[in-house]
Structure 1
Amino acid sequence: MASLLGEHLFDISGQGPPPLKDFFQLVVTKNEVELTSWKISVRLGSRGAAPKKLKTSHHDFLHHKILKQQIGVVFGRRILEHAMSLCQGKFDYLERLPDDILLKILSYLQLKDTTQLAQVSQRFRQLCDSEKFWEQTVRGRCAEFTSDMEGLANAMGWRRIYFTFFHTGGHKKQQ
């Protein structure tokens, strides 16, 4: 599973909360946490200033109260907790799988289970709402689907085809 992890485990950027106008980027790699900040100011003396960059090991980050506090202020508690989890080796491998593998896994689930999975995260919601998922669902679960219906599915959308022809009415649905 470790091969699913790229060098960058997490990356987020954004502007600090008021009254700061500074811009920040947090990167968590396999070995380090890196916080970069750019000073945003209208003062002449601040223009062209190099960004400040702080790199630390996972272990040191977990014990660096000031850095954790700054990340919490800039990005919020949830991002801080996520960064700390990554530094502790707690990875969500399922979220890191490519879409084609996740779609294959979804093909083994009942549709009621995929509706619950769609509530887990934005990525799963997008995947479970995608045309690829609904095409796979119609092709794999609807015995009455014919090749003549393919053009209609491409025009109307695969999800709409499923709910129009296979989920309701006299047709028997297959899950």
Structure 2
Amino acid sequence: MASWLPETLFEIVGQGPAPSKDYYQLLVTRSQVIFRWWKISLRSEYRSTKPGEAKDTHEEFLENSHLQDSLLLNIISYLDLEDIARLSQTSRRFAKLCMSDELWEKIVQSCCDSITPDMRALAEEMGWRQMFFTNKLQLQRQIRKRRQRQGSQRSSNP
């Protein structure tokens, strides 16, 4: 028996906010939920990045909270800061996602030209969200202090 439903039930495509040129697509068909993304960047570290795709049946999608969270984090990372703040107030699940280091790491990476190993280590210590909201001078000072601590630890441990 033929279905009255069209094959594509829902589709939305878009581009990340400036300066991002990233493209994404969310497609819900009669049988699958598909999320596709293409990272478009002039940065050398992203030039060889291939498009990504996550496919699941409706049942698998509803059962797979990790995939749902991953998809939601990708979508949330394109929102303005005010919208992220508002979204975090809608439920415990969204509050947890909006505060997650995984989300803020994506946001920091989209805003920075490059992330040095020192910056990454500092972000792992202090959290990506905290790093995003810390001004550049404070970050430079904290990176310098971190290097000094590491240098003094190496010299005291022969």
The bucket for the TM-score relative to the shorter chain is 0.3 to 0.5
| TM-score (normalizing by structure 1) | 0.39
Larger radius of gyration: 1
TM-score normalized with structure 2 length: 0.43
